[in-house]
Amino acid sequence: MIGAIEAGGTKFVCAVGNPDGTILDRTSFPTTTPEETLAKVEEFFSQHPIEKMGVGAFGPINLRANSENYGAIENTPKVPWRYYPFLEELEKRFNIPVAINTDVIAACLGEYEYGIGKDVSSCLYITVGTGIGAGLVQDGKPFQGRNHSEMGHVLLQKHPEDAFEGACPNHGTCLEGLASGPAIEARHGRKGAELADEDQVWEIEAHYLAQAILDFFVVLSPEKIILGGGVMKQEKLYPMVREKFMERLNGYIEVADVNELIVAPGLNDEQGVKGCIALAIKE
């Protein structure tokens, strides 16, 4: 059996499963301090014999190949986790091989191996939630540069009717600063879930998502672009984003069926843990 930890900034999901992606047991609990949270992780896995483990972690995390702090959380706003040697602590406690990557790479790998991406050779997964992140898997391998990518921070052109100054403390009007859940809340004074009937909110949101997706598409040329995360619970965004994407692409690259290119996740919120299992197998 293989262990999986979807280590989110708000909650942790721990699971055990088989290499075919079947999940046998799972639990979840809020992310508190590292000590308290890892005690709960240990408690769960003490009930299940596992031979290896995969972790999809909130970030930023250190994935620099030769760094002595590989697998440590970096400069996160979640103060108790700042520079926490996450991978090292897990290896110490469990004494088995542990593979770590970002939460969005884990989700991407889950969809690539077991979900909506299983018949293609490249997938981009974008999560639109508290933050915005994206991860690319190509031929079964997570894309890795000098560190993991930070596609949520691409800079965008403003929507002509959007006066919002942007919520990213570093860049203001980057993708995350304009289109994350907290950005929607800051712009409109209410949470996204309460704004379902306000057409203008989703017009602006789709404008930014489509613009970023165009950028990612021309740079990376992925076969599937999977959009997940809490904000995408507004399902009307999918057709709006597709339409605006095609408008902006403006015939430059042929896309036979945009409904097959820009898609929702296929694994019903299990892409993260399933991807952690795939991550463990691959390392």
| Residue 34 binding target from ligand ADP, Zn ion, none, CB below 5 to 8 Å by type | none
Q: Give the residue carrying structure tokens 């003490």.
A: 46
Under a CB-based contact definition with an 8 Å cutoff, are residues 34 and 90 in contact? no
Per-residue string for binding with ligand ADP, 212-251, x by CB under 6 A?
Answer: -----------------xxx-xx-----------------
Neighbouring CB atoms inside 10 A of 75's CB total 8
191 near ligand ADP, rule: CB under 6 A: yes
Nearest alpha-carbon partner for 150 in 175, 169, 182, 173: 175
191 makes contact, choosing from Zn ion, ligand ADP, none, with CB < 5 to 8 Å by partner type, with ligand ADP
Q: Which span (7-15, 17-25, 40-48, 85-93) binds ligand ADP, by CB under 6 A?
A: 7-15
Residues 162-181 that bind Zn ion (CB under 5 A): 168, 170-171, 174
Give the residue with the Cβ less far from Zn ion, 151 or 204: 151
193 binding ligand ADP? (CB under 6 A): yes
Strand order in the sheet with 122-128: 141-142, 132-138, 122-128, 224-228, 262-263
Our finding on whether 264 is near ligand ADP (CB under 6 A) is: no
**What does 234 interact with, of ligand ADP, Zn ion, none (CB < 5 to 8 A by kind)?**
ligand ADP
**CA 192 → CA 64, 134, 233, 268, distances in Å?**
35, 20, 10, 21
Strand partners, 134: 126
CA distance 108 to 48: 26
Binding site for ligand ADP (CB under 6 A): 8-10, 129-130, 181-182, 191-193, 229-231, 233-234
Interface with Zn ion (CB under 5 A)? 153, 168, 170-171, 174
